[in-house]
């Protein structure tokens, strides 16, 4: 009998087997995006004074490890440093023989060993040197900068990346603390946000389209069904049926508030048969449980409403990305029908196989029809806009329609610095006094950046990294940025005290990294990098601070 089901001749390829556990998260499309991306790591800039080689760059290397393993297309390491003894105590991607050699070359070599599918290259020149070549930066889809680095270098990298629309992640890890910020382009759209599957259900029970309404009407003779049939009517149909009953008794109105819905729920509950051996019916239990969750009129989420109001969505230009063309088409669809295209998925429910499949088909065909309509709008928009590099693919339109309710556009911000944008100052001010806020830790890192900038400019020696006076004045300088607006909250000694405390933890290692904290941070940074590269899930907006003393983190929009 073993021949009854012959074995598949074609199983998964060895690549699919190697990447199986991640393909279940971002599918072939995410994997393809990853494989087509090259990441640039600027892992150090220059030494901190005469005796300190500067950033160890462990966060950067650990981040790359987490990108090389899942198969990023390639990576470039820029690192002028030479491997020193302290490097071997924190960096796993160096070995005894690496001492005295180029750190860029050695880390590149040992990272490449992790995955033969990944290309790796390195430069021992400084990043400012490399940026002179206009072709250098645009080869990359993401830039990682290991800090602290001096301000002018960071600014040069961020500015250049911004011109090409390349995202930047700036990381710092010192002692038990770390922080990183993500700079995204001015508009960063995401279609596949992977919301919780429960929140994506759109069953349209209050406003069924004709085919669904007809299916609901088909069980008018519910009472004549035998117990087995009665206990297997899909709960969607039960709800549609009882809604019709309700409407007849309520001037055609559906239950609209909590009280009415509770009454309706009782109506449904009381219609279940209890005289059977089980003393109840599972499909009715499901129907009762679904009343409050599913009987809500369609409403557009505010995030989507905002996208519909964006200029590029209202009036896509000939050079607009396909995202905007499809978003404009969805907007048009919404204006016509006051609902979004149906996602078309149906949750599992107690039902006979054939009944479930035919109900599922009603949802699927409606979704297909909606996709066709959106596609027509997209094509006519494309025609109006004139020649474009590539028309939106059918696949893209389909994925967009399925995810329409949950798409997101992140408005990228610059890497935050205290004397930068006014919005950064405001966000810091709003968050600094919240109990347990990690903003003081962020400000201590800002002070460290200032100190490193002065050390690299030769204004002070590396001894400053643990100098009470230097830190005190760096922190005062930062607090000074808040003065012009007369911010009494920042003058308040408590905030200063907390920044000083955080600074003390940074001073403990004189700017040095601990492997655990850098490895953890490299995990977090890689996670964000994957989300940016695959354009799936929702990346950080825009700063994360990790406190390894208390084992916790916070996100801030700075």
Footprint of another protein on 197-256 (CB under 8 A): 232
User: Which one of 29, 35, 47, 71 is in contact with another protein (CB under 8 A)?
Assistant: 71
Q: Which is nearer to another protein, 447 or 544 (CB)?
A: 544
Site for another protein in 98-117 (CB under 8 A): 113-116
Contact letters (x/-) for another protein, 310-339, by CB under 8 A? ------------------------------
The answer to whether 434 contacts another protein (rule: CB under 8 A) is: no
- The torsion angle over the Cα atoms of residues 126, 128, 179 and 464, rounded to 10 degrees, is 70
Contact 400, 330 (CB under 8 A): yes
Closest CA to 523 of 546, 503, 505: 546
The minimum distance between CB 145 and another protein, in angstroms, equals: 18
Closest among 417, 421, 445, 434 to 546, alpha carbons compared: 445
**CB of 360 vs another protein, minimal distance in Å:** 8
**549 scored as a contact of another protein (CB under 8 A):** yes
Q: What Å distances lie between residue 92 and 56, 156, 474, CA to CA?
A: 11, 30, 33
Candidates 62-70, 307-315, 321-329, 478-486: pick the segment binding another protein (CB under 8 A). Answer: 62-70
Q: Kindly state the helix (H) or strand (E) to which residue 173 belongs, with its residue range.
A: strand 168-174
Minimum distance of another protein from residue 186's CB (angstroms): 19
Closer to another protein by CB, 419 or 497: give it: 497
φ/ψ (deg, to 5) at 517: -70, -40
**Rounded alpha-carbon distances, angstroms, from residue 400 to 309, 310, 371:** 18, 17, 9
Exposure letters 463-492 (e unless 16+ CB within 10 A, then b) = ebbebeebbeebbeebbebbeeeebeebee
130 vs 538, beta carbon nearer another protein? 538
With beta carbons less than 8 A apart as the criterion, state whether 540 and 398 touch.
no
Please, which of residues 12-31 interact with another protein by CB under 8 A? Answer: 12, 14, 16-25
Q: Which of residues 81-100 bind another protein (CB under 8 A)?
A: 85-86, 88-90, 92, 95-96
Tokens (6 digits) for 85: 């003894």
| Footprint (CB under 8 A) of another protein, residues 385-424 | none
Minimum CB separation from another protein for residue 407, in Å? 14
Least gap, CB of 471 to another protein (angstroms): 13
- Count residues near another protein (CB under 8 A): 87
Question: From the CB of 248, what's the least distance to another protein, in Å?
Answer: 31
The only residue of 37, 43, 44, 56 in contact with another protein, by rule CB under 8 A: 56
Least distance between another protein and beta carbon 270 (Å): 21
Smallest gap from residue 203 Cβ to another protein (A) = 16
Q: Which is nearer to another protein, 22 or 256 (CB)?
A: 22
Site for another protein in 148-207 (CB under 8 A): 175-176, 193-194
> Which residue(s) pair with 213 in the sheet?
none
Site for another protein in 482-521 (CB under 8 A): 501-502, 504-505, 508-510, 512-517, 519-520
Q: What is the spatial distance between Cα 537 and Cα 212, in angstroms, rounded to a whole number? A: 32
Q: Whose Cβ is closer to another protein: residue 73's or residue 316's?
A: 73
User: Nearer Cβ to another protein, position 375 or 509?
Assistant: 509
Provide the minimum distance between the beta carbon of 504 and another protein in the complex, in angstroms, as a whole number.
4
DSSP string, 321-379: -HHHHHHHHHHHHHHHHSSPPP-------S--HHHHHHHHHHHHHHHHHHHHHHHHHHH
Q: Which is nearer to another protein, 21 or 50 (CB)?
A: 21
Q: Which is nearer to another protein, 1 or 390 (CB)?
A: 1
By CB under 8 A, residue 277 contacts another protein: no
Strand pairing report for 408-410 and 188-190: antiparallel
Scan residues 450-479 and list those touching another protein (CB under 8 A): none
| Cβ 333 to another protein shortest distance, Å | 26
Least Å distance, CB 546 to another protein, is 8
Residues 518-547 binding another protein (CB under 8 A) are 519-520, 522-524, 526-528, 530, 537-541, 544
Q: Write out the two tokens for 39.
A: 């990441």
Q: Provide CB contacts within 8 A for 154, sequence distance 6+.
A: 145, 147, 170, 415, 449
Measured from the CB atom, the residue of 51 and 469 that comes closer to another protein is 51
Q: In the complex with another protein, which residue's Cβ is closer, 62 or 202?
A: 62
H-only helix segments in 185-251: 210-217, 227-230, 235-249
Give phi and psi for 44, each to the nearest 5: -170, 165
- The residue assigned the tokens 């940026």 is 131
CB of 467 to another protein, least distance (A): 14
Q: Is 548 in the site for another protein (CB under 8 A)?
A: yes
Query: Is 68 in contact with 41 (CB distance < 8 Å)?
Result: no
* Binds another protein by CB under 8 A, chosen from 70, 216, 343, 416: 70
CA–CA distance, 111 with 22 (Å, rounded to integer) = 20
Q: CB of residue 110 vs another protein: minimum separation in angstroms?
A: 9
CA distance 185 to 233: 50
- Which of 155, 178, 182 shows the shortest CA–CA distance to 445? 178
Asked if 437 and 543 touch (Cβ cutoff 8 Å), the reply is no
- Among 33, 55, 62, 446, which residue interacts with another protein (rule: CB under 8 A)? 62
């Amino acid at each position: 009998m073993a021949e009854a089901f012959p074995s598949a001749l074609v199983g998964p390829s060895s690549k699919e087997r190697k990447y199986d556990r991640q393909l279940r998260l971002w599918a072939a499309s995410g994997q393809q995006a990853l494989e087509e991306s090259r990441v640039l790591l600027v892992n150090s800039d220059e030494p901190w004074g005469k005796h300190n080689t500067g950033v160890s760059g462990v966060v950067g290397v650990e981040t790359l490890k987490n990108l090389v393993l899942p198969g990023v297309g390639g990576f470039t390491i820029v690192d002028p440093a030479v491997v020193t003894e302290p490097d071997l105590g924190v960096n796993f991607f160096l070995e005894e023989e690496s001492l005295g050699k180029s750190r860029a070359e050695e880390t590149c070599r040992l990272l490449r060993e992790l995955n033969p599918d990944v290309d790796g290259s390195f430069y021992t020149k400084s990043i400012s040197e490399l940026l002179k070549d206009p072709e250098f930066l645009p080869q990359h889809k993401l830039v990682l900068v290991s800090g602290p680095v001096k301000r002018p270098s960071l600014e040069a990298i961020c500015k250049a990346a911004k011109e090409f629309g390349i995202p930047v992640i700036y990381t710092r890890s010192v002692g038990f603390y770390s922080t990183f910020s993500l700079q995204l382009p001015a508009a960063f759209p995401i279609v596949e946000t992977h919301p919780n599957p429960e929140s994506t259900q759109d069953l349209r029970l209050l406003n069924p389209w004709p085919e669904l309404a007809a299916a609901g009407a088909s069980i008018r003779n519910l009472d004549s069904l035998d117990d087995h049939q009665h206990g297997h009517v899909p709960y969607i149909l039960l709800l549609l049926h009882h809604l019709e009953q309700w409407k007849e008794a309520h001037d055609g109105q559906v239950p609209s508030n909590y009280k009415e819905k509770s009454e309706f729920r009782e109506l449904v509950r009381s219609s279940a048969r209890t005289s059977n051996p089980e003393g109840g019916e599972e499909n009715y239990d499901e129907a009762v449980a679904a009343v409050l969750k599913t009987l809500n009129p369609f409403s557009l989420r505010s995030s989507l409403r905002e996208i519909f109001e964006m200029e590029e969505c209202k009036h896509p230009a000939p050079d607009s990305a396909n995202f905007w063309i499809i978003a404009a088409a969805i907007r048009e669809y919404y204006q016509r029908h006051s609902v979004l295209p149906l996602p078309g998925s149906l949750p599992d429910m107690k039902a006979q196989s054939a009944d479930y499949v035919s109900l599922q088909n009603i949802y699927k065909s409606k979704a297909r029809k909606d996709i066709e309509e959106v596609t027509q709008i997209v094509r006519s928009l494309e025609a109006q806009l004139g020649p474009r590099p590539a028309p939106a693919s059918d696949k893209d339109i389909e994925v967009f329609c399925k995810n329409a309710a949950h798409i997101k556009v992140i408005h990228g911000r610059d890497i935050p610095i205290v004397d930068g944008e006014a919005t950064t100052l405001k966000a810091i001010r709003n968050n600094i006094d919240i109990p347990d806020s990690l903003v003081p830790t962020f400000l201590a890192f800002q002070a460290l950046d200032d100190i490193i900038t002065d050390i690299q400019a030769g204004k002070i020696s590396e001894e400053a990294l643990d100098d009470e006076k230097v830190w005190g004045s760096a922190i005062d300088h930062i607090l000074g940025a808040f003065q012009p607006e007369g911010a009494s909250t920042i003058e308040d000694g408590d905030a200063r005290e907390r920044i000083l405390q955080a600074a003390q933890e940074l001073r403990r290692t004189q700017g040095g990294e601990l492997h655990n904290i850098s490895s953890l941070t490299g995990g977090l940074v890689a996670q964000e990098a994957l989300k940016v590269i695959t354009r799936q899930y929702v990346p950080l907006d825009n700063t994360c601070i990790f406190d390894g003393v208390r084992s916790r983190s916070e996100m801030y929009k700075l």
